[in-house]
Structure 1
């Protein structure tokens, strides 16, 4: 019994030593391949690589309520439909754009003046939708799409195999928060959260500054103004207006069209009034959207009923504003127009503002560079009094 146990114990010890030697060999081999715990090699353990992938993947819920997961931060992007490319440039992401809608190549828009290189990007189809085959050929990692339903986004995603993120372009009046949510969403997808926050702060601080300058003016003392020639799918006449015109709100100006029946207000197809209504309102000040000046000018020039009937024209209070719409609303221009309108109607409260400098500061905040000279060059001088042109 004792001898047998001794033999068994010997075998057990031999086996134990062999296992220990094998484990030691495997440990040393693994350590050499992986560069040691402190990382003498650029290689990483497989588990760490998996963890890194998990750290860069995100799932977002777009503005249509759809969930989209990205394994990594997109490097090539496309903005589809009105305003999408504008929002991309706001996030300083123009270098990521893989293609543009065909008419963007020759359009006079601030973001294209600031980033002319976008005009050379491959064409991905016409306005408001693009072309599925051209989209695939551009090889984007994500498509940002405005003015789209959940079903439309799903259809395009199924056609192309490319993730589609729906944005809500919002507005600068009642739905400004929705616009800022879209910016935040884009920032998360592109890893540019700080830029989205920076721009949000600028928008809010600008509006707050404007309102602070005129906030103590009693409603009965506020100037009454009208803005005509608002562009809806092209230049329009003096009767095309915007009852919720944000620049007036920001600068403490009463909009004579603000009390229009809601059934007459159409932000998509345009809000149009009768010229007789404008004569009845007889606003203190008349503003004209310069995108429509060639249409409006003959309607209010010397000898016309409006010229003879509107005191604002007879007293030289007619001013031109930068385009409100140009493939969706020009939000940069809304802020610039608010500063200009405020300076004309409250000169003492805006006497520190040089409009060319202010305009370029707004463009720089949104687009990275000042382009006021180029924008005004497309409209024979930009922001200005129009009385001498009547």
Structure 2
């Protein structure tokens, strides 16, 4: 207790504060953060959600690729001009020398261990704040909201953090209030997971389905992405199929989809990819609204999907990105 009290006094004297990150690490940081680097899955996205992209001084190489799947980059292409401070990816490899040259006040890191965070600080002298969204593909969970609050405190953006949380919770409540009974066999295919895949890539517990109260026709006990046998998909023969458009070229090349009932009955629809360097929260909700509109049009009669998508993107990342994303991927539409 005495040591902790002395630490508090030292922090006050240095015009600093203590941030408790997602790993429950107590980190001493400046009370006036002016420069940031964000590394690892999901970190830069949350910085943009908190309208602090102007403080970013370097980004990962991964952030410069496949930008149409990441609205936070699409809305702020100025970030692409910043120096590269690492390759990126899970368990990101950070170029500590490059980070030191940029004189960053803090490193915001997604999904790294306590040992790695402590090691980076030991080698650079720069505090590391670790954030998490929870499991891949999930959204609107306690870990995500906690990370928003952590960064709100770090960046003196508490009011913006509260607004982001309130906005997302409002979307959540609105969608759940429209739940409906679905008697059709519904399937999600071409789910992106550590790369792009074809129609046999699915997620049994697909979060947009779960939020709507819809079951995936592939009903197995798996929380993450899996591949199913083509024969099994043919036996299931879904009534309605949604395709993650990031994998559409693989679906077309395979040809299996043309043998399914949903193809013959013209019930195959495209959705935007939302898993890219962790969950793109805005796209996940836009997808959910569109899926609901297809399966229960009477429940979503008041929703113009383009307007709703742009409303979500404009609030979260500052610009209406739907048209650019739709031009690249195809957008919300019937595919076959």
Report matched runs for 1:222-301 at 5 Å: 222-257=183-218, 259-262=219-222, 267=224, 270-300=225-255
Aligned counterpart for 2:265 among listed residues 306, 311, 315: 315
Report matched runs for 1:185-224 at 5 Å: 185-214=150-179, 217-218=180-181, 221-224=182-185
What's the secondary structure of 2:178's corresponding residue? helix
Change (3 A) 1:228 1:158: same
Shift of residue 298, structure 1, vs aligned partner: 2.3
2-structure distance, mates of 1:261, 1:371: 35
Residue in 2 that maps onto 1:345? 295
Shift of residue 177, structure 1, vs aligned partner: 0.9
Whose RCO is larger (CA < 8 A, sep 6+)? 2
Change (3 A) 1:159 1:75: same
Shift of residue 64, structure 1, vs aligned partner: 1.3
Highest Rg: 1 or 2?
Answer: 1
Gapped regions of structure 2 (runs ≥ 5): 1-8
2-structure distance, mates of 1:52, 1:144: 20
Aligned counterpart for 1:132 among listed residues 63, 74, 96: 96
Residue in 1 that maps onto 2:22? 63
Shift of residue 174, structure 1, vs aligned partner: 8.0
Q: Which has the higher helix share?
A: 1
Kept in 2, the 8 Å contact 1:53–1:72? The answer is no
Residue in 1 that maps onto 2:134? 170
Number of aligned residue pairs: give it: 322
2-structure distance, mates of 1:159, 1:51: 22
What's the secondary structure of 1:213's corresponding residue? coil
TM-score between the two structures when normalised by the length of structure 2: 0.90
1-structure distance, mates of 2:17, 2:307: 40
Residue in 1 that maps onto 2:73? 112
1-structure distance, mates of 2:93, 2:170: 34
Kept in 2, the 8 Å contact 1:224–1:253? The answer is no
Residue in 2 that maps onto 1:39? none
TM-score between the two structures when normalised by the length of structure 1: 0.78
Kept in 2, the 8 Å contact 1:54–1:71? The answer is no
Kept in 2, the 8 Å contact 1:169–1:179? The answer is yes
What's the secondary structure of 2:232's corresponding residue? helix
Kept in 1, the 8 Å contact 2:29–2:106? The answer is no
Kept in 2, the 8 Å contact 1:289–1:323? The answer is yes
Q: CA RMSD in A?
A: 2.1
| CA shift digits 1:134-177 (9 cap, x unpaired) | 11111111101111110011111111110001111225648711
Residue in 2 that maps onto 1:42? none
What's the secondary structure of 2:57's corresponding residue? coil
Deviates more, 1:99-108 or 1:61-70: 99-108
Kept in 1, the 8 Å contact 2:38–2:107? The answer is yes
1-structure distance, mates of 2:287, 2:53: 25
Residue in 2 that maps onto 1:149? 113
Kept in 2, the 8 Å contact 1:230–1:324? The answer is no
2-structure distance, mates of 1:383, 1:241: 19
What's the secondary structure of 1:166's corresponding residue? strand
Kept in 1, the 8 Å contact 2:310–2:320? The answer is yes
